[in-house]
Amino acid sequence: MHTPTPGRHRGWPVLSCVAAAAALTLAGCNSDYEADPVEIRATSNRADMVSGGDVTLQIVLPAGGRTDGLRVDVGGRDVTSAFQLQADGTYRGVVTGLADGANVITAATLNTRPAALTVTNAPRHGPVFSGAQIKPFYCATPVQQVVNGIVPASNASGLSGAPDANCNIATEFKLYYRSTTAGCSLGLPDATAAMAPTATTVPANPTPPANLCFKPYTAGTTPADMATTTTDAGVTVPYIVRVERGTMNRGIYDIAVLHNPAQGWNALAPQAGWNGKVVFNFGASTGQPRRQARPATAWTGSDLQLRRGVMVVANSMTDSARNSNRVMMSETVMMMKEHITDTYGPVKFTIGSGCSGGSINSNMAASIMPGLLDGVTTTCTYPDSETTSMEVGDCVVLVEAYQKPGWLALQAGLTQAQINARKAAINGHPDQSACHAWYNAFGSNGRAGLYNQRLVANNVTGAIFQQPTATNNCELPNSAVYDPARPTETANLPRCNAWSWGESIWGKVTGSPAAKDTRDNVGVQYGLKALQTGAISAEEFVTINELVGGIDRDSTPRAERSVADADALPIAYRSGIVASGRQLAKTAIIDMRGWDDSNIAENLPPGYTPNQIPIHHQWFSFGIRDRIVAEAGNANNQALWRFARTGLTPPGTMAFDAFLTMDQWLTTLKADTSAASIEAKVRSAKPAGAADFCILPSDATQTVKVTNAATCDADPYLKPTFSPRQIAGGPRAEDVLKCQLKPLVRTDYAAGTFSDAQWARLQAVFSTGVCDWSKPGVGQQAAVSPLTFSAGPGGAVLPAAPVSVPK
């Protein structure tokens, strides 16, 4: 530790000119200062977005500034001992004990003028910029607790300490070693799995497998079966992993990294086993429960990264199943990265990874707050939740419409195959099963309160049944949430859809506790392209558009179309919540696109094992590419690796190959110190191995990479299909939440398409007009993210990051 040199300025240097002191300037008089002020830089995060009570600072000396006599204080508290002189002539240190709110950091050396930097610190439980946190929210406990009245059963935290009122739990550290035992099972047993919210008994812990790849380690011992590993930096160490478990932004996190327990570790002196790289694992699905839980992604599944010296990170608030507020999710990533920098040392680069909802969060972090992730490697990819919900919503209203008497009567006399061919043509999918899957898996996810779930019971006919027992999406007892059947009595109870979970972003409807949302299908002509190709008749086209209707803000079906809140739409675009091609172009992307478009046996690729919920459609990856091309000129920052035979799981070593390729890509990117834009740097750094390719489903070995795009596109299982809204005329980018309207004009259709009676019915359906897809969507605009929602819903552009000023 550097010890400041004693001398004439153990306190702040004294000005020899009183007038100059009053004016805080040295101009025009003599002084004891010989150099300009130092510069104080916050390096673990922006100075106005710090959290957890600590921050890493760098103190840069001006020309002529001497390194001796450093003094640093925080509001008068001397923290000089936290700083060390670096080889480049700067000082670096981690200042701890920051108060919530503004903290003035002041620094100078023996011959430099003092400078001050205001650091604004948020508590460990947040928020930083996502706005007011949702309440009520129930903390996890050391041991699972059963339901108690309106308080749901608690999940076990995996921590021994009790939570405080903000769900903060004392951090713990545990050691594990990698066993050399042949055939060891992958992963540690998890005795803290989520507990049903209405559970009245605590489940028994699972029995651990007989052999574990990772076993608990006692410091100072050398187990006979302990492995060694050599990192990608060439450092050979015992394969011991330290797992830090704690809470951040009300989520429970795990940080796993190679660790030598015989050596110390701090941010100024990281251990050699860590290469400075971070993989952030995002959890799948989507939901908005009000209960704290452990992250869904276990660190034990990342052996190939850990053994190379990579740090593996997960937080339950970045699991899509636990948190559908994408701004809060991005905030959590930011807070975790700052904590890593303040605790472990500088991060070289961060790779986001995930499937399904995990891919949403990977893309959302890159769009909402560019720079959080340097690269992403995703599978079963969606661009974002806001636009993906359009296909979900369209499928829900179509599946319901197909069971209404008017449509069933129209199909009388047709075979089931003929009926399903019409559904597929309207849906845009290979068959009816994909919309059935959306309906069953996420069709009720938008329900704001109590509901009885409706499910497709027959995948061939689409017949629907309704569950007899009510439930809710908050994971709370039914008596504790809003009930649409009793709207007045329960108006102020928690609402359970994604928009209410994110009401700090969207705001509330005037005079209502309901949150604003973006769902809309006004003017959408379902089945338009199917009509134009003759796949459905004019009568079928008119009828389905008469029957499809929409939903209200509680997601209750209604005859009228769904209508978005007009002022919610610009928020979605400006904030980057609708994944922005312009923002995504700043991130290196490897998208491993598998096949998941059907679960009907005759429509599956050769060798494919059917997935019961085929919702990860191939067109989503191409939609992302279309957005990047439209907003950034080209999509050379995106690599698309296609396959079909193995479903959603990349064949062979593809997933690890993606990690290695991304590692190479980002290593080259970080070495580029030119003045080029980040978009240009990302494209320039792209390695040859990141080129697009496909593996044909006819390839039994699943090893031959085909780089000819035409060959890939010609394969029926690699060629993207469509969505209901694309069949209605919308763009494949699927980034129009609400379309602008144009008049319904008969000459826009082939002559003789409609009878006069059919045309009159169509005019009644589209009395305000039909979608004009040649125009941007209502409220559609370029992202200016990141936004801060600290002042309330709607968001404001972040000001320039604070800098130090002369004192």
The reply to whether 393 falls in a domain is yes
Q: What is the mean pLDDT of residues 764-776?
A: 98
pTM of the model: 0.95
- Check whether residue 549 and residue 665 sit in a common domain: no
- Cis amide bond preceding 570, omega within 30: no
Q: What is the mean pLDDT of residues 711-737?
A: 97
The reply to whether 354 falls in a domain is no
- Check whether residue 295 and residue 204 sit in a common domain: yes
The reply to whether 649 falls in a domain is yes
State how many domains the chain has. Answer: 4
Contact at 8 Å (CB) between 227 and 310? no
- Domain that residue 74 falls in: 18-122
Q: Per residue in 713-738, is it b (16+ CB within 10 Å) or e — as a string?
A: eebebbebbbbbbbbbbbbbbbbbbb
The reply to whether 304 falls in a domain is yes
- Check whether residue 742 and residue 665 sit in a common domain: no
Q: Give the pLDDT score at 375.
A: 98
Q: What is the mean pLDDT of residues 327-342?
A: 98
Q: What is the mean pLDDT of residues 500-516?
A: 96
Boundary (domain end) residue, out of 273, 297, 320 = 320
- Check whether residue 159 and residue 179 sit in a common domain: yes
- Check whether residue 746 and residue 645 sit in a common domain: no
**Does residue 206 have a pLDDT over 90?**
no
Dihedral angle at the C-alpha atoms of 466, 467, 472, 477, nearest 10 degrees? 150
Question: 593-643: per-residue pLDDT in tens?
Answer: 999 999 999 999 999 987 889 999 999 999 999 999 999 999 999 999 999
- Check whether residue 409 and residue 517 sit in a common domain: yes
The reply to whether 371 falls in a domain is no
The reply to whether 49 falls in a domain is yes
**Does residue 193 have a pLDDT over 70?**
no
The CATH code of the domain that includes 85 is: 2.60.40.10
Question: 671-708: per-residue pLDDT in tens?
Answer: 999 999 999 999 999 999 999 999 999 999 999 999 99
Q: Which of 449, 462, 477, 457 is nearest to 555 (CA)?
A: 449
Q: Give the pLDDT score at 655.
A: 97
What φ, ψ does residue 682 adopt, rounded to 5°?
A: -60, -45
Dihedral angle at the C-alpha atoms of 520, 521, 522, 527, nearest 10 degrees? 170
Question: 513-567: per-residue pLDDT in tens?
Answer: 999 999 999 999 999 999 999 999 999 999 999 999 999 999 999 999 999 999 9
Question: 396-444: per-residue pLDDT in tens?
Answer: 999 999 999 999 999 999 999 999 999 999 999 999 999 999 999 999 9
Q: What is the mean pLDDT of residues 222-231?
A: 96
Which burial class, exposed, middle or buried, applies to 369 when counting CB atoms under 10 A from its CB (0-12, 13-18, 19+)? buried
- Check whether residue 437 and residue 508 sit in a common domain: yes
Q: What is the mean pLDDT of residues 769-776?
A: 98
- Check whether residue 64 and residue 199 sit in a common domain: no
What φ, ψ does residue 268 adopt, rounded to 5°?
A: -90, -15
- Check whether residue 267 and residue 391 sit in a common domain: no
Boundary (domain end) residue, out of 96, 122, 148 = 122
Q: Give the pLDDT score at 400.
A: 98
Q: Give the pLDDT score at 202.
A: 84
**Does residue 25 have a pLDDT over 90?**
no
Boundary (domain end) residue, out of 122, 144, 173 = 122
- Check whether residue 151 and residue 255 sit in a common domain: yes
The reply to whether 471 falls in a domain is yes
Q: Does the CA dihedral 27-29-33-35 come out positive or negative?
A: positive
- Check whether residue 740 and residue 752 sit in a common domain: yes
Q: Give the pLDDT score at 23.
A: 31
Question: 434-475: per-residue pLDDT in tens?
Answer: 999 999 999 999 999 999 999 999 999 999 999 999 999 999
The reply to whether 483 falls in a domain is yes
- Check whether residue 266 and residue 308 sit in a common domain: yes
